[in-house]
Amino acid sequence: MPAPTLYSQLANHYLHAIEAGTLRCGDRMPSVRTLMERHTVSLSTALQACRHLESRGVLEARPRSGYFVRPRQQAALAPMKEPGAALPDPAQYVGIHQRVSAIIAKSQQSPVAINLAGACGAPELYPTEALQTAMIRALRGNPGLLGRPGPPTPNGDPGFRAAIAKNALWARVTLSADEIIVTHGCIEALNLALRAVTQPGDVVAVESPTFFGLLQILESLGLRALEIPSSPQTGISLEALELAAQSYNDIKAVVVVPNLQNPLGSVMPDRHKEDLVHWCEAQRIPLIEDDTYSALGDADTPLSALKAWDRTGNVIHCASLHKTLAPGMRLGWISAGKWHARVEMLKYAQSRSNESLPQIAVAEFMASGAYERHLRRLRTSLRRQREQVSAAIASYFPAGTRLSQPPGGLALWVEMPGKRSSESLFHAALQAGIRIAPGLMFSNSKRFDHYLRISCGSLYSRELEQGIRKLAGLVEALPHTD
Amino acid sequence: MPAPTLYSQLANHYLHAIEAGTLRCGDRMPSVRTLMERHTVSLSTALQACRHLESRGVLEARPRSGYFVRPRQQAALAPMKEPGAALPDPAQYVGIHQRVSAIIAKSQQSPVAINLAGACGAPELYPTEALQTAMIRALRGNPGLLGRPGPPTPNGDPGFRAAIAKNALWARVTLSADEIIVTHGCIEALNLALRAVTQPGDVVAVESPTFFGLLQILESLGLRALEIPSSPQTGISLEALELAAQSYNDIKAVVVVPNLQNPLGSVMPDRHKEDLVHWCEAQRIPLIEDDTYSALGDADTPLSALKAWDRTGNVIHCASLHKTLAPGMRLGWISAGKWHARVEMLKYAQSRSNESLPQIAVAEFMASGAYERHLRRLRTSLRRQREQVSAAIASYFPAGTRLSQPPGGLALWVEMPGKRSSESLFHAALQAGIRIAPGLMFSNSKRFDHYLRISCGSLYSRELEQGIRKLAGLVEALPHTD
Q: What's the CATH number of domain A103-123+373-477, 3.10.129.10, 3.90.1150.10, 3.10.20.90, 3.40.50.20?
A: 3.90.1150.10
Q: Is the pLDDT of residue A1 over 50?
A: no
Q: What pLDDT score does A82 carry?
A: 80
Q: What is the mean pLDDT of residues A453-465?
A: 95
Q: What pLDDT score does A443 carry?
A: 92
Chain B neighbours among A 357-386 (CB < 8 Å)?
357-358
Q: What pLDDT score does A21 carry?
A: 67
What CA–CA distance (Å, rounded) separates B53 from B11? 6
Mean of pLDDT over chain B? 91
Residue pLDDT, tens place only, A441-454 = 999 888 999 999 99
Of A131, A185, A200, which is closest to B146 when you measure between CB atoms? A131
| Residue with more model confidence, A272 or B101 | A272
Q: What is the mean pLDDT of residues A187-197?
A: 98
Closest residue in A to B138 (Cα–Cα): A132
Closest residue in B to A136 (Cα–Cα): B136
Q: What pLDDT score does A96 carry?
A: 67
Of A147, A149, A200, which is closest to B200 when you measure between CB atoms? A200
Q: Which residues of chain A are within 8 Å of residue B441 when distances are taken between CB atoms?
A: none
Distance from CA of A121 to the nearest CA of B (A): 8
- Chain A CB within 8 Å of residue B219 CB: yes
Fold of B96-122+375-477: Aspartate Aminotransferase, domain 1 (3.90.1150)
Residue A75 φ/ψ, nearest 5 degrees = -60, -35
- Chain A CB within 8 Å of residue B263 CB: no
Q: What is the mean pLDDT of residues A173-181?
A: 94
The domain ranges of chain A are 6-69, 103-123+373-477, 126-371
**Confidence grade of residue B21 (pLDDT, cut at 50, 70, 90):** low
Q: Complex ipTM, two decimals?
A: 0.85
Q: Is the pLDDT of residue B94 over 70?
A: no
Q: Which residues of chain B are within 8 Å of residue A123 when distances are taken between CB atoms?
A: 144, 147-148
Q: Which segment of A363-372, B18-27, B211-220 scores lowest on mean pLDDT?
A: B18-27
Buried/exposed code over B424-443 (b: 16+ C-beta within 10 A; e: otherwise): bbbbbbbeeebbbbbbbbbb
Q: What pLDDT score does B72 carry?
A: 60
Q: Specify which of A249-253, A336-340, B74-78 reaches the highest per-range mean pLDDT.
A: A336-340
- Chain A CB within 8 Å of residue B459 CB: no
Query: Of A232, A223, A240, whose CA–CA distance to A261 is shortest?
Result: A232
| Residue with more model confidence, B79 or B229 | B229
Closest residue in A to B458 (Cα–Cα): A148
How many pairs of residues across A and B have Cβ atoms under 8 Å apart? 173
Share of chain A above pLDDT 90, in %: 70
Residue pLDDT, tens place only, A359-406 = 999 999 999 889 999 999 999 999 999 999 999 999 899 999 999 999
Q: What is the mean pLDDT of residues B287-301?
A: 92
**Confidence grade of residue A93 (pLDDT, cut at 50, 70, 90):** very low
Q: What pLDDT score does B109 carry?
A: 80
Residue pLDDT, tens place only, A204-235 = 999 999 999 999 999 999 999 999 999 999 99
Chain A neighbours among B 120-139 (CB < 8 Å)?
120, 122-126, 128-129, 131-132, 135-136, 139
**Confidence grade of residue A87 (pLDDT, cut at 50, 70, 90):** low
Q: Is the pLDDT of residue B75 over 60?
A: no
Q: How far is CA A23 from CA A37, A41, A387, A390, in A?
A: 19, 21, 16, 19
Q: Do A199 and B200 touch (CB under 8 A)?
A: yes
Fold of A126-371: Aspartate Aminotransferase; domain 2 (3.40.640)
Residue pLDDT, tens place only, B393-441 = 998 999 999 999 999 999 999 999 999 999 999 999 999 999 999 999 9
Of B131, B136, B348, which is closest to A136 when you measure between CB atoms? B136
Q: What pLDDT score does A205 carry?
A: 96
Q: Is the pLDDT of residue B256 over 90?
A: yes
Q: What pLDDT score does A95 carry?
A: 53
Q: Which residues of chain B are within 8 Å of residue A124 when distances are taken between CB atoms?
A: 144, 147
What CA–CA distance (Å, rounded) separates B307 from B259? 12
Decide if B449 contacts B422 (C-beta within 8 A).
Answer: yes
Q: Which residues of chain B are within 8 Å of residue A370 when distances are taken between CB atoms?
A: none
Q: Is the pLDDT of residue A75 over 50?
A: no
Q: Is the pLDDT of residue B93 over 50?
A: no
Chain A neighbours among B 152-191 (CB < 8 Å)?
153-154, 184-185, 187-188, 191
Q: Which segment of A155-159, A474-478, B444-448 scores lowest on mean pLDDT?
A: B444-448
- Chain A CB within 8 Å of residue B229 CB: no
Of B122, B146, B187, which is closest to A128 when you measure between CB atoms? B146
Torsion angle of the four alpha carbons B159, B162, B163, B167, in this order, in degrees rounded to the nearest 10:
170
Q: Which residues contact A373 (CB under 8 A, 6 or more apart)?
A: none
Of B144, B219, B327, which is closest to A149 when you measure between CB atoms? B327
Q: Which residues contact A98 (CB under 8 A, 6 or more apart)?
A: none
HSE on the CB side for B58, CA within 13 Å? Answer: 19
Fold of B6-69: Arc Repressor Mutant, subunit A (1.10.10)
Q: Is the pLDDT of residue B103 over 70?
A: yes
Residue pLDDT, tens place only, B78-88 = 777 887 655 55
Q: What pLDDT score does B445 carry?
A: 87
Q: Report CA torsion sign: A85, A86, A87, A92.
A: negative
What CA–CA distance (Å, rounded) separates B335 from A49? 66
What DSSP letter does each residue of B282-330 carry, written as one string? HHT--EEEE-SSGGGBSSSSPPPPGGGG-SSS-EEEEEESTTTT-TTS-
Report whether CATH 3.40.50.2300 matches the domain B124-372: no
Q: Which residues of chain B are within 8 Å of residue A187 when distances are taken between CB atoms?
A: 349-352
